[in-house]
Amino acid sequence: MTIANEKLKQPPVFKLACYTTICERIGFYVISYLIVMYLRQKFGLTDTQSFMIFGVFTALAYLTPALGGYLGDNVIGIRRAIIFGLFFEGTGLILLVIPSFLALTVALAFIIVGTGFFKTSPTDLLAQSYHKKDPRIDPGFTYYYMAINIGMVVAGIVASYVQKYYGWNIAFLTGGILLYCGLLFYYILRLSA
C-alpha cells in the first residue's frame, strides 16, 4: 500500500465506530425527543414534573460516561463497553413499551447505564487505531462526528413519524431495535476491525 492510499483509507475500526454510533444516537435521541410528551400524555405529569425528569435523565446520561469510560479503559475493555452500552440502551428502550411508571424508571436507568458505557467507547477505540501523527486522524474524526449528527437527525425524523402514526410503544420499540442493530453491526464488523 502506498502512502497516498494509506492517507485516504480509514482504519477498519472506523466503520465499526460510525455504524454503532449512528444506531446508538438514533436510539438515545428517540427517547430524548419523546420523553417529555410521553410523561405528560401517558402519566399525566405536569410540564414542570416532566421537564424535571428529563433534566435529571439528561444530566445522568452525560455524567455516567466518566465512570463508563474509566471502566471501559481499565476494567472491562473498550469493546465490551460498546456491547454493554448498546445492550443496556436497547433493553431500556424496549422496556418503555410496558406502560407503568416502575417500568419507565427501570428503563431510564438502563438507558443511563448504557449511555455511560457506550458514549466514550467508539471514540476511544477509533483514536487507538491511528498511529502517531497519522494524517487520517482529522478527516476520520470529522466523518465520525458527522455520523453522530446523522444519527441525531434521523432520530428526530423517526421519533416524530413513528410516534405520530404508530404510537409510543412502536416508537420506543423502533429505537430499541435500532440499538440492537448497532450490536449486530458490531458483531459483523468486529472481525475486520
Is 1 a residue whose pLDDT tops 60?
A: no
Collapsing DSSP to helix, strand or coil, 141 comes out as: helix
pLDDT tens-digit series, residues 79-129: 999 999 999 999 999 999 998 999 999 999 999 999 999 999 999 999 998
Grid coordinates belonging to 45 = 405529569
Question: What distances in angstroms separate CA 101 from CA 127, 164, 174, one per listed residue?
Answer: 40, 22, 20
| CA R_g for the chain | 18
Tell me, what's the pLDDT at 7?
54
Amino acid at 17: A
Q: What does pTM read for this prediction?
A: 0.91
Q: What pLDDT digit, counting tens, does each position of 46-84 carry?
A: 999 999 999 999 999 999 999 999 999 999 999 999 999
Q: What is the DSSP string of 106-122?
A: HHHHHHHHHHHHHTTHH
Q: Are 103 and 38 in contact (CB under 8 A)?
A: no
